[in-house]
């Protein structure tokens, strides 16, 4: 009788150990690293967008299924002027541009100078005020009370072309 109890205890302990190991393996798979930054291009080819002769370009990389994107398109489109071109690059329609510039999160909004250099960017939603202030700051440094809005250094990873 004592042998049966000892055998049962060993089997129970073994089953518990196997369950614990399997649970730890499953937990380690589901808790991978959390992504905290997204790729933002450093340069765009101005010829890829309408009005390449405009001194400034604001591009919103978006997706048709993204409600935040729709809000950013509305905010970005009002900056269009003779000096600022505006473009919306929707993923399904403009997939080639999303792939070319390694856009991996939408909305991604970039402010680009005449040479195609990305001077400011926002990943995710931002306020119209912050977008306007960032555009004003890159056009005329010192004009914004918050000169770091949309600064590339504040975005974390700046991968991409």
65 and 25 belong to one structural domain: no
For the chain, the C-alpha Rg in angstroms (whole number) is 25
* 100: its two tokens: 């070319």
Cα–Cα distance between 159 and 161 in angstroms, integer?
7
Contact 59, 110 (CB under 8 A): yes
pLDDT for position 160: 43
pLDDT in tens, 16-68: 767 777 777 665 555 556 656 788 999 999 999 999 999 999 999 999 999 99
Is 141 a member of any domain?
yes
pLDDT in tens, 140-153: 999 888 888 888 76
User: The pTM is what?
Assistant: 0.74
Q: For tokens 């600064």, name the residue.
A: 151
50 and 28 belong to one structural domain: no
pLDDT for position 32: 57
Instruction: Give the structural domain span for 24.
Output: 1-32
Backbone CA torsion sign across 76, 77, 81, 83:
positive
Report cis status (omega within 30 of 0) of the bond before 107.
yes
Cα–Cα distance between 91 and 160 in angstroms, integer?
17
Please determine, for residue 159, whether its predicted confidence score (pLDDT) is greater than 50: no
pLDDT for position 161: 42
Please determine, for residue 8, whether its predicted confidence score (pLDDT) is greater than 80: no
71 and 128 belong to one structural domain: yes
């Amino acid at each position: 009788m004592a042998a049966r109890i000892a055998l049962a205890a060993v089997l129970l302990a073994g089953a518990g150990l196997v369950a614990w190991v399997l649970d730890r393996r499953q937990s380690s798979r589901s808790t991978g690293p959390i992504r905290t930054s997204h790729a933002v291009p450093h340069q765009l080819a101005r010829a890829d967008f309408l009005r390449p002769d405009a001194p400034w370009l604001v591009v919103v990389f978006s997706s048709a299924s993204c409600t935040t994107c729709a809000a950013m398109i509305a905010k970005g489109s009002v900056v269009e002027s003779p000096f600022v071109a505006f473009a919306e690059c929707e993923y399904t329609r403009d997939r080639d541009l999303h792939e070319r510039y390694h856009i991996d999160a939408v909305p991604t909004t970039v402010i680009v100078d005449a040479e195609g250099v990305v001077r400011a960017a926002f990943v995710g939603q931002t306020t119209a005020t912050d977008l306007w202030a960032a555009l004003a700051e890159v056009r005329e440094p010192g004009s914004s009370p918050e000169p770091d809005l949309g600064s590339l250094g504040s975005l974390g990873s700046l991968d991409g072309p």
